[in-house]
Amino acid sequence: MSLRNERVRKALMREISDIIFREIKDPQICGMVSITDVDVSSDNTAARVFFSVFGNDDVKNKTANALQRHVPQIRHEVGKRIRLRKTPSLLFILDDSLEHGAKMTELINKIQRGEL
């Protein structure tokens, strides 16, 4: 990954997170949404945005659907905030790695305490 792509990736993470937190007022976006990573194509025309939400499967599905509905608004706002020749298309992907890590940590703690 080039230095330019890395800078674009970091800027997208920061701005998309801020847009979701400050600009998007949708009751379907439940809980705390965290942008865990952004994977930008080599030509900066497409970006896969990985996000996590703590909650049950219903909350995760509602949030994922709401984010997909708001892609045009988020993309427009990103285009205003980040100066790029072309604003990348956005695809939101649910990332369960944080939740999986928390479960693994809990299992390790139980083993250490002798509960398993």
What is 3-113's CATH topology?
A: GMP Synthetase; Chain A, domain 3 (3.30.300)
Residue 108 CA to residue 33 CA, distance in Å, equals 26
Question: Contact 49/12 with Cβ under 8 angstroms?
Answer: yes
Return the number of other C-beta atoms located less than 10 Å from residue 69's C-beta.
13
**Global pTM?**
0.82
Q: How confident is the model at residue 1 (pLDDT cuts 50, 70, 90)?
A: low
Backbone angles phi, psi at 92, to 5 degrees: -90, 130
Q: For 31-78, what is each residue's pLDDT tens digit?
A: 788 999 999 998 989 999 999 988 888 988 999 999 999 999 999 999
* Sign (positive or negative) of CA dihedral 102, 106, 108, 112: positive
Domain ranges of the chain: 3-113
